[in-house]
Each structure stands twice: as structure tokens, then as C-alpha cells.
Amino acid sequence: MTPSFFLYNLVGTGAGLTLAPLLWLYYRNKSEENERFRQRMGRYPQSLRVAHEARPRVWLHAVSVGEVGAAAAILKPLWELRPDCHVTLSCTTKQGLARARSQLGDRVEFFYAPIDLAWPVDQALTMVRPDVLVFLETEIWPNWIERAHRKGIRIAMVNGRISVRSIHNYRKIKPLMRHALSRIDRFSMISSADAVRIESMGADRRRIQVHGNAKFDSPDPQAAGDAARQWARRLLNLADTAPVIVAGSTRHHEEKIVLEAYARILQSCPEAILILAPRHLNHIDDIEECIKAAGFPCQRRTTLDPPRCERSAQVVLLDTIGELAAIYSVASLVFCGGSLVPKGGQNVLEPAMWSKPVLFGPSMEDFADARTLIEKAGGGVTVQHVGELAEVASDWLRHPFKADAAGKAARRAILAHRGAAAKHAAVISRLLGDL
């Protein structure tokens, strides 16, 4: 055991023993959160502990909604290569688990991922008994990786990305990262820049390959587009020509920027409707107060029940999980949240696949490849501040033909770069070997 790994375990175990009882007390009367806490501490229900004799077994870890999309894209070609493959999928967030269940159904077993401490990780590994453990994107957990390695489990990072924003933090703990990465058998990265960064952290160059972004292979929403559009228009009480701005996956305090831009947009397009969809719902009450303080009538999505209760307010606050993708179908333009604040941005692929023009702020480090691709194609624009956001959005709303052309360009750019998921799936299949 290296000194850095020993120190990581010492600090983690101390924190776990101190915080676990307090968290149990906090969550014990909140059934959903309590179950999530119990699973993350390695206490899984008996229904999940039933032994699975089917082999080979693959455990995918996808932290939240975005990674679940990549996992779903990769699983389709993986099952074509290995139809005998039994898959389990873990998530960290309840949003991720909900999306996984809706996208993958009964063919995959789902549960919350263990906290990276020895006993929860051992409980989860004993339950799943994977032949291959697959981490999606940026997930690097030293204990989890080390324990799996000791059990002879093959390990891969697929659709791997290391952002400019995160590389500096990883380098501060390079000895620990080098130890963890030495246990990983394959790194199937999104871009050559990601490959360079993971190597600089200590990964073996011979184990690194570049295969593109599997999120480009996510299911095409336009395949069922009419049904989604009709549902969203009925829910939101929208005329066919209504100008709609969707601000998707906004982060805390970013809503104020969007509302200020919206106030300016209304000066030239007074009929515009704003759908505000926060990334996290724990501040939903504060956001509603912020909307009202800005002088806008507001309705929450959960209060809409056509025809008994129809939308009449200019601003709708999306306070549900899993509906944003369908809401994009009725947008005239989309603002990608987490980008006007230093959060690394959010997934721009869903609105682009709906042929929607996209606006994003300068902080798109976590989705740099998609942002560059869409922007070069003319399907999106980087805005630096509230003034630019209002200016570009107003121009698109006043000239819908321009917005339509930009949206179609965004979609073409994504479609031209599909195919990465099959390459990532092939990496997993080769690790499975003859099992």
C-alpha cells in the first residue's frame, strides 16, 4: 500500500465513521433518501443480493443523468457483441437512477453506488461479482478500483474525459491517482486531449485509446418527435408559433442571469415564454421567489394539469425529473446552463438533436468537444454575459428562419459524428474475452 493510498483510507475512514451516524439520523425519516444512504453505505436490500449465475457480468457506473445516456448508447452495441452479457448499473444521484430505469427498463439491474470506503465497496462487489467493472467518464475512485483489482476484476474507463477544470485538482493528488490508474486495464477516451491528460495523471500510455463521445450515439429523440411535441404543447398550452426559450439545467444563481436576459428579450419579443429548468431541485423554492421578485408571473410544472389547470404565466418552472428532454422539442432556442457560472456546462446534445439552436456561456469545459463541434457548424453561440445572451436570443426570435437554420446545423454536426459507442463497447467486449 502506497503512503498516499494509506492516507486516503485513513482520512476517508475517519470521516465515514464520524459522519455516518449523523447522516443516518438526518435521513431516517425520509424514506427515499434513507434508502439511497443505506445503499451507498453498502446495505443493499435482499432483492439485490440474489446471486446471479448468468455470465459474463458487467458492472457499469454512471454517476448521473448525462453518464446514463452514454451508458445506454454503449449497451446497445455491447449486447450485439455479447448477447449473453448480464449488466448491472449503479448511479450516485436519484435523477440518474430514474433516468436509467426509464431508458433501460428490465434488462438491467439498478442500485446506488457505494461510497468509496472499504466496507461499502466490498459489500457491493460481493453482491454484483462483476467480471468487468466499467467507470463512465470522470469517475476515479481509488478504493473501489483497488478492491476490484485485488479480486481479479478487469477494469475500464470508457467514454473517458478529464476536463481542463479538473486536471489541476487531480495533479495535486498525483501519487494517489497514479496508484489508482495503474490498476485500470483500459482507458477508452473521448478525445486526444483527454488521452494526454489521463496520461499526465499517471495512466499507462499503452492502455489508452481514443474513440470519441458515446453521447453522440444517444437515441434520436426525433424518432418519437411528434408524440413528445404534442405532449409538451398540450402541457404548456402553447400555440404552434409561440416563441419559447428553454433554459436547461441551470445552476444556482444562474437563474438571475437568465431572468435579467429574459426581461431584455421581452422588449423586442413580448410574447416570448420562458421555461426554466434547474439542474437541481433543492433550491426550487428560492428560484420561484427569484422569478416573482423579478416581476414575472410563474407556474410550477407540477401545478399544470390540462385542461383543469392550464399554463397562463410567462414563466414556467420545471420542478420535475426526466421531462426536460421532451420540453426541448417545443423550444425556439435553448440556453445550456452551468456555463455562465463556473460549473463546466451541461449536455448540449439533447437540444441539438432536436434541431434547436443553442446558447452557452464560456464555462463549457466538461462538454468542450460537443460545444466546439456545434459552434463550428453554426448551430450554437458562446455568450459572455447577460447582454450577449439577450442580444443573440432576441435576434433568433425576431428571425426564426435564422434560428431554424442554426438548429438544423447543430443536428447535422452531431449525426456526422456518431459511432463512438460501438468502439467503447468493443473495449468492454475484449476485456470480457472468452468468459
* DSSP conformation letters of 366-417: GGHHHHHHHHHTTSEEE--SHHHHHHHHHHHHH-HHHHHHHHHHHHHHHHTT
The answer on pLDDT for 433 being more than 80 is yes
Tell me which residue of 146, 144, 105, 106 sits closest to 128, measured CA to CA: 144
List for the chain the helix, strand, coil content (%; round to 5). Answer: 55, 15, 30
pLDDT in tens, 269-278: 999 999 999 9
Whole-number Å distance between alpha carbons of 159 and 285:
36
Cβ(89)–Cβ(160) below 8 Å: no
Burial class (CB in 10 A: 0-12, 13-18, 19+), 16: middle
- Matching CATH topology for 50-213+418-432 and 221-415? yes
Cβ(100)–Cβ(108) below 8 Å: yes
Burial class (CB in 10 A: 0-12, 13-18, 19+), 21: exposed
The answer on pLDDT for 64 being more than 60 is yes
The answer on pLDDT for 107 being more than 80 is yes
Please say whether the dihedral angle defined by the alpha carbons of residues 318, 272, 264 and 270, taken in this order, is positive or negative.
negative
Average pLDDT score, the chain: 91
% of the chain at pLDDT higher than 90: 69
In Å, how far are 132, 248, 277, 393 from 274, measured between CA atoms?
A: 45, 11, 10, 12
For Cα atoms 384, 341, 255, give the angle at the middle one, nearest 5 degrees.
Answer: 95
pLDDT in tens, 277-328: 999 888 999 999 999 999 999 999 999 999 889 999 999 999 998 899 899 9
The answer on pLDDT for 147 being more than 60 is yes
pLDDT in tens, 337-388: 999 999 999 889 999 999 999 999 999 988 888 999 999 999 999 999 999 9
- Assign 171 a pLDDT band (cuts: 50, 70, 90): confident
The answer on pLDDT for 215 being more than 60 is yes
Buried-state track 259-277, b at ≥16 Cβ within 10 A, e below 16: bbbbeebbeebeebbbbbb
Whole-number Å distance between alpha carbons of 244 and 334:
9
The pLDDT score that the predictor gives to residue 65 is 83
Query: Where do the structural domains in the chain lie, given as residue ranges?
Result: 50-213+418-432, 221-415
For 93-101, what is the mean pLDDT? Answer: 87
The distance of Cα 289 from the centroid of its chain, to the nearest Å, equals 27
Whole-number Å distance between alpha carbons of 231 and 118:
46
Cβ(64)–Cβ(98) below 8 Å: no
The pLDDT score that the predictor gives to residue 419 is 94
The answer on pLDDT for 22 being more than 80 is no
The distance of Cα 182 from the centroid of its chain, to the nearest Å, equals 26
| Residues in CB range of 340: below 8 A, 6 or more apart | 254, 257, 361, 362, 363, 383, 385, 386, 389
Cβ(132)–Cβ(58) below 8 Å: yes
Grid cell for residue 235 = 402541457
Q: How far apart are the first and last CA of the chain?
A: 30
Strand (E) or helix (H) holding 108: strand 108-112
The answer on pLDDT for 248 being more than 90 is yes
The pLDDT score that the predictor gives to residue 254 is 96
The answer on pLDDT for 67 being more than 80 is yes
* CATH topology classification for 50-213+418-432: Rossmann fold (3.40.50)
Tell me which residue of 208, 154, 199 sits closest to 177, measured CA to CA: 199
The answer on pLDDT for 51 being more than 60 is no
The answer on pLDDT for 1 being more than 90 is no
The pLDDT score that the predictor gives to residue 435 is 58
The answer on pLDDT for 225 being more than 70 is no
Cβ(207)–Cβ(184) below 8 Å: yes
- Assign 20 a pLDDT band (cuts: 50, 70, 90): low
In single-letter form, the type of residue at position 424 comes to: H
- Name the CATH superfamily for 221-415: Glycogen Phosphorylase B; (3.40.50.2000)
Cβ(199)–Cβ(178) below 8 Å: no
* DSSP conformation letters of 40-75: HTT---HHHHS----SSEEEEE--SHHHHHHHHHHH
In Å, how far are 49, 74, 107, 288, 313 from 85, measured between CA atoms?
A: 18, 13, 10, 46, 49
The answer on pLDDT for 15 being more than 80 is no
